[in-house]
Structure 1
Amino acid sequence: MKSILAKSALAISMAALAMGTAYADKSKWPKSFTVGTASQGGTYYAYGAGWANLVAETVGITGGAEVTGGPTQNLALVHTGKLAFGMTTMGPAREALDGKSPLAPGLKMNKVCAMFPMYETPFSVTVLSSSGIKSIKDIPAGAKIGFGPAGSTSDTYFPKMLETLGVKFQRRNGGWGDLGGQLQDGLIDVVAFAAGVPIPAVTQLEVQTKINILEFTEEEQKKIMDAYPVSAFPIKANTYKTLNKDARAVSMWNYAIANCDLPESFVYEATKAVLDNNPKMQTIHKGARTTLAENWDKNTFIPFHPGAVKYYEEKGFKIPANLQLKK
């Protein structure tokens, strides 16, 4: 009889745990939420729209993605509370928290909190095969290079990287899909992508025409890593049909962020919805294979939202005091 009662109690406990979202206090939750992404045709929009829909379906409120200028703008919109959630790379996040954002110099964006790790953003260069460009050093002086939306991670860092490597160019901006079209039409010579792979615009390009994906030499890779907050990254050969071997690149981690004033229970449920459903996330975008709780430590300076801290600690991960929001 004791054994039966114990099993019944355990079953009731498990059922209550599974229904946690239903019993969460939602009185202070927003009626809807929006995730700041980037331009259409890029990884941020595809990934962000997917996790917004997943969270909306799981927690039971309306949610969606918004096209933005990318990480730098997302940080500002989340800080001001105009967006509940956003997506950023660690470089622009560091600048925003230090008060060095180009959108608001001197303003320390202390209302930005970390949620969960997403994926690494490789910096990669794509050209038409017909251009004859096969390496970074082949890029001719004065080449018109598309760097993505103004203020994006690519636009912030890639021009500096190429200048470090001695490339002289004319700068162009636009959404990834638009720049892919301009490359195909011969209006620009190069697209310097900073986006999770596979990049939809590149996948579309290689279906329509022949392209070259340029890799950095070991010397070029080291030079960039010594100068910028990036690490070595191989773009795997099976990422694109164009590649027949891994391509040497550099990358920067991406993180989902939340406004720090959002209710703890809401951010907890949103974080749980994404990290407890990694197989589903991978159907949204292959880059989500690294959207895992154990990668929480890829954030070393953005304070975690208390709701995210609660989730990680339930999973057995101890968030250091210096990465918890000061009350």
Structure 2
Amino acid sequence: MTKFTTSAHALCAAALVSMGATAASAQDEYGDREGWPDSFTVGTASQGGTYFAYGSGWANLVADELGISGGGEVTGGPMQNMALVHTGDAAFGMTTMGPAAESLEGTNPIAPGLEMTGACAMFPMYQTPFSVTALSSSDIASISDIPDGARIGFGPAGSTSDTYFPRMMDTLGVNYERRNGGWSDLGTQLQDGLLDVIAFAAGVPVPAVSQLEVQTDVNIIEFTEEEQAMLLEEFPVSEFEIAADTYSTLEEPARSVSMWNFAIAGCDLPESFVYAVTDIVMSDNERMVNIHRAAESTVPENWDRNQVLMWHPGAARWFMENADADIPDDMIYSSGS
């Protein structure tokens, strides 16, 4: 009995030494931890979506690597994340470039008139394509086929999809009735004939669309070159092709547009802390892809996809040192500016 107890104590002591060595190693690697928080949260979005899975994954990875408490937090998505990070209610968050631009301009609907300059760019995530789906039985095979007064589901209220896709439809001359709801619910409504079209901005494949394919025939509708050009001119989006192997319905790539997603950090967080977080996420892409397939785009060379937000100085230093990033001084946040 005594021998067992002694062995148990020895094992516990060894574990404590190991934990201490890990913490010391992290401290040695990233320098003085003065001012670092004891815990952190990452603002994501609703459960079941790409943001929640991706954000919770990298939050847990960072927490494990740095030996501090951290995790993802359910939020209303990109607009709310900008507000939470700006006010300091969340250390980190995730946003798309459109909501980021609106938040800086003071037109974020969560706090109209408030210029949310306290949220800084940290690292590139992935692109969110805008995709349109209808039942094959509807004979809607193009944007121009959408009839006047069509019932279109745009995703959760206040989401990137709901914020931008209606405006895009307006630009393309579509007359519609606007409907909102969760991805799966809207997919079911389309199948039941309660909607004519679903228009989602979400990482592909969209699970609701993949499920529809299994149950019925659908049309994945691409934009024409002219329609794509109109959207590129009017909105903060980039050219995108939905790969043919994304959905079984597609026989060739579908022309679309997309909006880049970026991780954001409170601008006043310690430089060494944000440098460490950026380093953990960006230094091993395989780990990130294991968290979510969308992280295939979470690579250093995509640093230049941010043309909107000021860079956090810790993140900017990482990309300049490790990705030869040419970030102008006037795009790097300074507390004195």
Query: What range describes the TM-score normalised by the shorter chain of this pair?
Result: 0.7 to 0.9
Q: Distance in 2 between matches of 1:17 and 1:279?
A: 25
Alignment pair present for 1:217 and 2:208? no
**Percent identity over the alignment?**
64
Partners of 1:324 and 1:138 lie apart in 2 by 46
State the partner residue of 1:252.
259
1:289 aligns with 2:300: no
TM-score (norm 1): 0.88
Matching residue of 1:178: 185
Write the distance in 1 (CA, Å) between the matches of 2:61 and 2:219.
35
Question: AA paired with 1:256?
Answer: A
Structure 2 counterpart of 1:4: none
**Cα displacement (A) at 1:320:** 1.3
Q: State the shift of 1:234 in Å.
A: 0.8
Range with greater deviation from structure 2 (73-82 or 190-199):
190-199
> Matches of 2:201 and 2:85 in 1, distance apart?
21
- Contact preservation (8 Å) 2:23, 2:67: no
TM-score by length of 2: 0.85
Corresponding residue to 1:132 among 114, 139, 143:
139
Go from structure 1 to structure 2 and tell me whether the alpha carbon gap of 1:78 and 1:162 turns closer, same or farther (over 3 Å shift).
same
1:40 is the counterpart of 2:57 = no
Offset at residue 201 of structure 1 (A)? 2.8
Superposed, which structure 2 residues align to 1:63-212 within 5 Å?
63-212=70-219
> Gaps spanning 5+ residues in structure 1: where?
1-14
1:39–1:176: 8 Å Cα contact kept in structure 2? no
Cα 1:68/1:129, change in 2 over 3 Å: farther
Which stretch of structure 1 is more off in the superposition, 171-180 or 74-83? 171-180
Mark the CA change 1:287 to 1:107 in structure 2 (over 3 Å): closer, same or farther. Answer: same
C-alpha distance in 2, partners of 1:190/1:148? 11
Could you report, residue by residue, the CA deviation over 1:230-263 in whole angstroms, capped at 9, with x for unpaired residues? 2221111112222110000011111110111222
Query: What runs of 5+ residues in structure 2 fail to find an aligned partner?
Result: 1-21
Q: Decide whether aligned partners of structure 1 residues 16 and 109 sit closer, same or farther in structure 2, where only a CA change above 3 A counts.
A: closer
Task: Supply the AA of the counterpart residue of 1:175.
Answer: G
Distance 1:30 1:206 in 2: 46
1:320 to 328, 332, 335: 328
Q: Match of 1:321, as an amino acid?
A: D
Structure 2 CA distance for aligned equivalents of residues 282 and 124 of structure 1: 23
Deviations 1:182-219 (A, max 9, x none): 33333322221112222233233333433221101112
Contact 2:134 2:198 in 1 (8 A): yes
Question: Against the structure 1 CA distance between its residues 240 and 59, is the aligned structure 2 distance closer, same or farther, given a 3 Å change threshold?
Answer: farther
Q: In 2, are the aligned partners of 1:35 and 1:65 still within 8 Å (CA)?
A: yes
Structure 1 residues 226 and 131 mapped into 2: Cα distance closer, same or farther (>3 Å)?
A: same
Map Cα deviations across residues 22-60 of structure 1 (whole Å, 9 max, x no partner). 764445333322222223343222222222222222222
Q: CA deviation at 1:19?
A: 4.3
Worse overlay, 178-187 or 18-27: 18-27
For the aligned residues, what is the CA RMSD? 2.3
Deviation sequence 1:240-295 (CA, Å, 0-9, x none) = 22211000001111111011122222211111111012112122222212211121
CA gap 1:20/1:276 in 2 versus in 1, 3 angstroms = farther
Change (3 A) 1:21 1:60: farther
Q: Secondary structure at the match of 2:106?
A: coil
Report the CA distance between 1:317 and its aligned residue. Answer: 2.6
